[in-house]
Amino acid sequence: MTKYINLKTDWAFKKLMGQEPQMRSFLNSLLSEEYGEIKSLTFENVEVPSDRNGGRGVIFDLLCTTENNDKILVEMQTYSQLFFKTRANYY
């Protein structure tokens, strides 16, 4: 049995990063040089229905909106997915 929780599991990742201060700090450490500091963000509904009749919807890990109304999609990927970048363009 491990001593620590694996933060790559869906539950643990969302529990930790689903808190505004932790997510803001994480995003600022990655994005602040290029985009400026994120001062606040809100979490959005992660389920997006299909815009086509009978189409599949999308469920994100976390979706945030900054004070500038910029949307940031955060996904935890533990395995390489061949077409992830292409698929992400549709989100």
pLDDT exceeds 80 at position 80: no
Mention every residue, 6+ apart, whose C-beta is less than 8 A from residue 83. none
The share of the chain scoring above pLDDT 70, in percent, equals: 92
Helices (H) and strands (E) in the chain, counts: 3, 5
**Residue 90: predicted pLDDT:** 61
Residue 64's CB: how many other CB atoms inside 10 A?
20
Residue 38 burial (C-beta neighbours within 10 Å; 0-12, 13-18, 19+)? buried
Domain boundaries along the sequence of the chain: 10-89
Tokens 């450490």: give the residue.
29
Residue 73 reports pLDDT greater than 70: yes
Structure tokens at 56: 């599949």
CA distance 86 to 84: 5
pLDDT given at position 1: 62
